Amino acid sequence: MNITILLLTLLIGALATYFSGKKSAAKVALSFAVIAFIETFVLICQHNSGFNADYSVEWIANPNIHIALKADGLALALVLLNTLLTPLIILSAWGKHIEKTNIFYALVMFMCFAMTGTFLASDGFLYYVFWELALIPIYFIALLWGNDTFEARKKTVFKFFIYTFAGSLFMLVGFIYLYQKAGSFMLYDLYNLNLSSKEQYWIFLSFFIAYAIKIPIFPFHTWQASTYEKAPTIGTMLLSGIMLKMGLYSIIRWQLPIASDAARELMPTILVLCIIGVIYGSIVALKQVNIKRFFAYSSLAHVGLIAAGAYTLTTDGLRGAVLQMIAHGLVIVGLFFTAEILYKRYNTRLISEMGGIRQQAPKFASAFMILVFASIGLPGTFSFIGEFNLLYGLSQVNLWYALFGGTTIILGAFYMLRMYQKTMLGETNSKPFADIDKTEGIVLGVIVICVIFLGIYPKPLTELITPSLVEIVSYIK
């Protein structure tokens, strides 16, 4: 199957959703998302059977820009995450009243398209275009369909957009500079460049700003919590589940192989930043009163560790980063969905106003609990595989990093269980809480099954991504 079909499916899906009218928009979007998922699956099967789905056609002759897509295992794994989560995210708002449904879902589909493009692009320019394109839909989704008063969220969303946009422009400058050196934006031309260490240093930094803001790495995270809070839950899921993976993926795909000497040189500083983020995020999370902000900070802690793993430059660290990206994507989407379910029933996001739900909604409580334990990396869940790889990678650099990074398993348990206790446990709440319905069950069920299945048998994914990572590591060396 041609890789472009996947992208076209999503793009056409976005258009079709827009034109399908308010009544059927969600259904149209869902069906296209599911088709995209199936296509991804087919692509992965083809990839496993040795089929090379890379695609390249000239876009602009001068400057030399291609529409080049690279469907190696790494990219496909992330695309799989994307196309798996998108239908779930669409389902998560099933039946909910949304103003201008068709525009909303069209934006969701468009964002999925742009993110898929980001993962697949192997031409730096094309990659940048997709990277920026992904920003626009989420901006509108958060702005127009978000929570709180318009004025309040305008400020927040604005901050988010300007901040991330500013970061990525520096990356553009980096790319242009590389283009001047290489005469091409193609991935391998950039990999094979011989840059002086000073050049690498600046290229590395210019990329780092973009990624550090997107991921976000401490102390560039100030947009995160408020945006997650203000965005509608679907937007939050897209942001936290997929979009921030773009930054992490880009570190591995673009930043490290291109500026590997600089990466080695700056590794201690960046690892320290990442690990500070892990601890800082965990501690701040402890004191959050809003459940979405809480998950935002927990996410900060988790992605800090992922970024740290990526920056170890070891195969194990990188593998851990990719696996954990997928695991975190699944889990955080699930967690935000639980927040949404709680909000739907109790109409509040304050943790203090919840509690005493477990007895009323045992299914929900169990699913939530599994997600909580997945989030803290209990062995047997997928997160453990990722976390172990990450920490093992870190320990290869220096045991202290692994030790401090490893505090996440303590602090993570601390804040997560505390949250779970306050939201779910305790004397049965006087307000009734309906257990999850069918669609909610499907969403949570799929996530829970994926998390557990991949925790026991991650081999298909590991085998998918490892060759790409080995190749990337060979460029790093």
Of 353-412, which residues contact another protein (CB under 8 A)? 356, 358-359, 362, 366, 373, 378-380, 384-385, 388-389, 391-392, 395-396, 399, 402-403, 406-407, 409-410
Cβ 110 to another protein shortest distance, Å: 12
Nearer to another protein, 247 or 458 (CB): 458
Binding segment toward another protein, per CB under 8 A, in 41-49, 55-63, 229-237, 332-340 = 55-63
For helices 315-346 and 362-375, the axis angle rounded to 10 degrees is 150
Q: Using an 8 Å Cβ cutoff, are 414 and 351 in contact? A: no
Exposure pattern of 431-442 as b/e (b: 16+ CB <10 Å)? eebeebeeebeb
Nearer to another protein, 62 or 194 (CB): 62
Residues whose CB is less than 8 angstroms from the CB of residue 422 and which lie 6 or more positions away in sequence, other chains included = 351, 352, 354, 355
Nearer to another protein, 173 or 446 (CB): 173
Cβ 37 to another protein shortest distance, Å: 25
> Which one among 462, 464, 472, 476 touches another protein, defined by CB under 8 A?
462
Q: Binding of another protein at residue 414 (CB under 8 A)?
A: yes
Which whole-number Å values give the CA distances from 248 to 80, 232, 242, 328, 367, in the listed order? 16, 23, 10, 12, 27
Cβ 476 to another protein shortest distance, Å: 13
Cβ 90 to another protein shortest distance, Å: 22
Length of the chain: 477
Nearer to another protein, 10 or 85 (CB): 10
> Which one among 136, 193, 446, 452 touches another protein, defined by CB under 8 A?
136
Cβ 262 to another protein shortest distance, Å: 17
Q: Using an 8 Å Cβ cutoff, are 70 and 24 in contact? A: no
Residue 376 phi/psi, 5-degree rounding, is -90, 10
Which whole-number Å values give the CA distances from 342 to 46, 131, 150, 229, 374, in the listed order? 41, 33, 23, 14, 19
- Position 151, amino acid: E
Binding to another protein (CB under 8 A) within 315-354 occurs at: 315-316, 319
What secondary structure letter does DSSP report for 288? -
d(CA 376, CA 111): 29
Binding to another protein (CB under 8 A) within 173-232 occurs at: 173, 176-177, 179-180, 219-222, 225
Q: Binding of another protein at residue 113 (CB under 8 A)?
A: no
> Which one among 98, 169, 446, 452 touches another protein, defined by CB under 8 A?
169
d(CA 114, CA 130): 5
d(CA 475, CA 477): 5
Cβ 459 to another protein shortest distance, Å: 6
Size, binding site for another protein by CB under 8 A:
89
Cβ 274 to another protein shortest distance, Å: 16
> Which one among 148, 287, 449, 467 touches another protein, defined by CB under 8 A?
287
Q: Using an 8 Å Cβ cutoff, are 275 and 356 in contact? A: no
Burial class (CB in 10 A: 0-12, 13-18, 19+), 168: buried
> Which one among 280, 311, 336, 337 touches another protein, defined by CB under 8 A?
280
Q: Binding of another protein at residue 475 (CB under 8 A)?
A: no
Binding segment toward another protein, per CB under 8 A, in 24-32, 249-257, 329-337, 450-458 = 450-458
Nearer to another protein, 39 or 316 (CB): 316
d(CA 210, CA 199): 17
Binding to another protein (CB under 8 A) within 226-265 occurs at: none
Residues whose CB is less than 8 angstroms from the CB of residue 24 and which lie 6 or more positions away in sequence, other chains included = none
